[in-house]
Amino acid sequence: MVDLLQVLEGVTYAAFIVGALVAVYELRVMSRDRRTELYSQMGEHWTSREFEEAMAKYALADYQSAESIEKTVPRVDILMIADTLDWMAALVRYKIVDYKTVTSVMTFSMNWEKLKPWCLEWRKHTTPGHFGDFEWLANEENRRDKAAEQETNAA
């Protein structure tokens, strides 16, 4: 005969396994929700009139030097764009969101090359590490692009 204690022990194990599966499912849903929320917030910010105006000026700027950028784009607009890119890069660097989520909506290496003279000049007047995450993600993007290119050429 089956002992009642063995049945209860079996039920307990089964409940534990079901609980673990539910927890894993919930974590996956939370991750998807976090990405959805991030996309929504980025969309709200990027479609704001203030950001759109700054980006329109930024697209037409002369990127030879910090001074030449500021002739086309006001300093506060450049700072807003660079800080936005730095914030997004920090989310990737500290693994809050994945690389593809952020780089699918913005090319960091191209933007770093455009803003590099201005960002390096700005660092002289603020903190040495300012825009460090932005620079890191641009370098990471370049590294991954080169690795993918080498992989394609090798195949």
Mark out the alpha helices in 47-74 (DSSP H runs): 49-59, 66-72
Q: How much is the pLDDT for 89?
A: 95
**Helix axes of 49-59 and 75-93: crossing angle, nearest 10 degrees:** 100
The whole-model pTM stands at 0.73
Distance CA 133, CA 143 (A): 15
Q: From the first residue on, what is the mean pLDDT of each consecutive set of 10 residues in the chain (155 residues)?
A: 78 84 80 76 83 90 87 93 94 89 89 94 91 97 93 83
Amino acid (one-letter) located at 155: A
Q: Where are the domains of the chain?
A: 1-47, 48-154
Distance CA 137, CA 132 (A): 9
Q: How much is the pLDDT for 132?
A: 96
Distance CA 111, CA 140 (A): 13
Residues across the chain: 155
